[in-house]
Amino acid sequence: MIRVGVNGYGTIGRRVADAVRKQEDMELVGVTKTKPDYKSAVALEKGIGLYAVDMKGLEAFRAAGVSVRGTLNDMLQRVDVVVDASPEDVGATNKKMYEQAGVRAVFQGGEEHSLTGVSFVAQCNFDEAVGKTMVRCVSCNTTGLCRTIHAVDTGVGVSRARAVLARRAADPDEVGKGPIDAVVLDPPTLPSHHGPDVQTVLHGLNIATMAFKVPTTHMHLHSLILSLKRPATKDDVVRALEAAPRTMLVDSRMGFKSTANLMDLARELGRTRNDIYEAVVWRDSVTVVDGEAYMFLAVHQEAIVVPENVDAVRAVAGGYDKKRSMGMTDASLGVRKGLGQP
């Protein structure tokens, strides 16, 4: 059993913790919280080991009469791998603690590539992370772009990628963030950070991205244009996407007209927290014009990196190959290819 701890129990940490609990080869030793609240109360109800981030937090838990098993330092003594899901840039400050504890670590996309030197998307570069002590799972949009571009590159060949991203403004519980009524250039100058981030996984890819924020909380939507290396039809591109893991194809003629329909599908499937782990491509959006493939891609920001985190834990723990790890992860989470194709 790989003993896993999750440091940071927010949007990503809570989901990764639950995913770890579903793995037959992993034990969730515990999670950290900065302070007691309803999330720590639910974690305790689930029987999850709760640790305070630091001594100040420990005092706050004790004062509130909440039972915790110690601090982050205590948790680190009991795990083989820690998944750092603390806020952007905080992970970097935690690295030293993990090194001192002799613990392997998986960081998130809010950290810089240089923190670990290995950025990870399981189906693209699992082997790069094998034997490393620390890796970084890339952000949600980068994960979606890497999976989709890698799929088309594997099946048809991609010489150049261009993407325009409509980004969700905030996660559903981030009430302090906007915009409520604006479209915000994010950033006004090109490229957005996503293109260079994709290159940390798909080395040498010719890619440029631009992005803007829209007032929605549930998903990102990419308009993706891929220059193909050889003459190919729409069906060739669709087949390449169908052959790739963690990529789901939907069709507007089945009622999928928006990201809202995808969230509704997740509810209908009874997915935990309405999570969509797959990169979702509209099959009927795939169009080839003048050697370029066009498509719409949707990314559920809260969930798409969850399977990658589970695989990254196995990659740094050692003893697994890509196919076995991804197979175990996907079976445990119910990852599917589309409707009628679980």
User: Does residue 57 interact with ligand NAD by CB under 6 A?
Assistant: no
Q: Which is nearer to ligand NAD, 37 or 251 (CB)?
A: 37
Nearest of 147, 84, 154, 157 to residue 120 by alpha carbon? 147
**Binding of residue 127 to ligand NAD (CB under 6 A):** no
In whole angstroms, the minimum distance from the beta carbon of 240 to ligand NAD comes to 25
Calculate the dihedral angle through the C-alpha atoms of 185, 247, 312, 310, rounding to the nearest 10 degrees.
110
Binding mask 279-318 for ligand NAD (x = CB under 6 A): ----------------------xx--x-------------
DSSP per-residue letters across 300-342: -TTTTTHHHHHHHHHHHH-S--HHHHHHHHHHHHT--SBTTB-
Smallest distance from ligand NAD to CB 124, Å: 16
Does the annotation count 140 as an active-site position? yes
CB nearer to ligand NAD: pick between 33 and 314: 33
Cα distance between residue 342 and residue 339, in whole Å: 7
Q: Which of positions 32-51 make contact with ligand NAD (CB under 6 A)?
A: 32, 34
CB 105 within 8 A of CB 81: yes
In sequence order, the 6+-apart residues with CB closer than 8 A to the CB of 185 are: 212
Q: Return the residue matching tokens 């990658």.
A: 308
**Closest distance of CB 316 from ligand NAD, Å:** 17
Residue 4 bridge partners (DSSP): 28, 81
Of 59, 62, 77, 87, the one binding ligand NAD by CB under 6 A: 87
In the complex with ligand NAD, the residue whose CB is nearer, 112 or 128, is 112
142 binds ligand NAD (CB under 6 A): no
Contact range with ligand NAD by CB under 6 A, out of 5-13, 159-167, 311-319, 332-340 = 5-13
Q: Using CB positions, name the residue nearest to ligand NAD.
A: 10
Query: Which residues in this chain contact ligand NAD in the complex, by CB under 6 A?
Result: 7-13, 32, 34, 53, 85-88, 90, 108-111, 139-140, 171, 301-302, 305
Active site residues: 140
